[in-house]
Chains A and B, each alone.
Chain A
């Protein structure tokens, strides 16, 4: 006996799906801004700060990277009220996701910063660039270019990971799905629709990251050192 798919009851509640998707974007957007801020502070502390600060940030990173997001969420939402800090479900979700992303992005950004040799900064200064120009053109943009795939991948994982927030009934897409499922009893159809929405959002964001990458790294790579290499390149292109 084959199961008859029926999407009509789910589609009737389409506005709730749209609202859920928007809420997911808002929730993960807030968490991403906060998480990247933590990551920047963390990465700079680890590379430029004193040893004790590097150690402290290292402990934070290891603690958050080696425990599940769901448990972090439960600890913040259910555990913190026990010591007197009461948060709304959405706030708890944003904090948990931000702290989680903060730990991962600290390490990613640190890898980027460490990939730029100090001599390159000195070379920039020797060329008469101002400190700000050196930070922008010699450190940030080249470092970002190196870590861009890892960083955007982590942002995608954060967007998708926000579905975990449904476990504490934060307002987002998966929670909206759970509500639709409980009114329509069309579980499979509901979660197929939800999956399609997440997939669409992910691909849309990948496209945006690609465009932003094109713009950020629009300056061409330095020209090849030898003329002969250029000639062979041209002849190969012509062949």
Chain B
């Protein structure tokens, strides 16, 4: 049935955008959780663990996201269970996000001067206390800009799971295009919705990066 592109269509796309947001949020929470552990182990863990994590990060960063998504999609279903695309989408995006965020956050931890560790050590803080009270609060401040910047990448990356049939914003656009045959209107609207989500994040990211130098460094 051919429909024309109207307000109904925009509503349909906005519902798709809801899934994009939900998937992005899930990806950020799960990916961020593992990324934090990986970033800490990558800088402070025993050598074999550090090497293993570095290897994982290198391999994932050298694989296209679409291939990670396919591997999760087919890999999971070959383990004997049939997962809905939602699971494959979540797992692959989380793995991909972990690899990138872990690298970003490692950089932030390593940006803290060695003297800060030494000073904390001289104050008789334990290793955990040094991290908790001295290193991580400073690293957190540095990481804000790049982290929000990476959220933009996460939102955009979720579009790839449209290709395994998960109905988020891009897939909703494809479906709508099949119903209306008005690809120009449909994909322009889809792009506009992505822009409306991503641009504020980009703007915030730039602001957070810029302010870093304004704040007194101590």
Contact = CB atoms under 8 A, between A and B. Distances in A.
Interface of A: 1, 3, 62-63, 65-72, 74-75, 78-83, 156, 160-164, 166-167, 174, 177, 187-188, 191-192, 194-195, 198-199, 202-203
Interface string B192-218: 001100110010000000000000000
Nearest to B152: A66
B18 interface: no
Interface in B38-69: 59, 61-68
B74 interface: yes
Contacts of B199: 62, 66
Ordered nearest first, which 10 A-B pairs have the shortest CB separation? Answer: A78-B183, A202-B62, A68-B159, A163-B64, A187-B74, A66-B198, A82-B184, A79-B184, A68-B156, A160-B64
B67 A71 contact: no
A202 B63 CA distance: 8
Contacts of A156: 62
B79 interface: yes
Given A68-B159, A163-B66, A202-B62, A74 B79 contact: no
Nearest to B169: A71
Interface string B62-85: 111111101100110011100000
Interface of B: 59, 61-68, 70-71, 74-75, 78-80, 152, 156-157, 159-160, 162-163, 170, 173-174, 177, 182-184, 186-188, 190-191, 194-195, 198-199, 202
Contact of A188 (B75, B157, B188): B75
A188 B159 CA distance: 22
A174 B66 CA distance: 9
Nearest to A4: B78
A89 to B, nearest CB: 14
Contact of B187 (A71, A177, A191, A192): A71
Nearest to B75: A188
A68 B194 contact: yes
Given A79-B184, A187-B70, 15 more contacts: A67-B156, A69-B159, A70-B170, A71-B170, A71-B173, A72-B191, A79-B188, A80-B184, A82-B184, A160-B64, A167-B163, A188-B71, A198-B63, A199-B59, A202-B62
For chain A, what secondary structure do more than half of its interface residues adopt (helix, strand, loop), or is it mixed?
Answer: helix
Given A62-B202, A79-B187, A82-B184, A67 B194 contact: yes
5 contacts: A66-B199, A70-B170, A75-B188, A160-B62, A177-B67
Contacts of A65: 152, 198, 202
Contacts of B79: 3
Contact of A78 (B67, B177, B195): B177
A174 B80 CA distance: 25
B14 to A, nearest CB: 15
Contact of B78 (A62, A69, A78, A187): A187
Contacts of A1: 80
Contacts of B188: 75, 79
Contacts of A66: 152, 156, 194-195, 198-199, 202
Given A65-B202, A188-B78, A195 B63 contact: yes
A177 B80 CA distance: 22
A81 to B, nearest CB: 8
Nearest to A161: B64
Contacts of B174: 74
Contacts of B186: 79
A72 B156 CA distance: 11
Contacts of B66: 163-164, 166, 174
Contacts of A203: 62
B190 A71 contact: yes
A45 B188 CA distance: 27
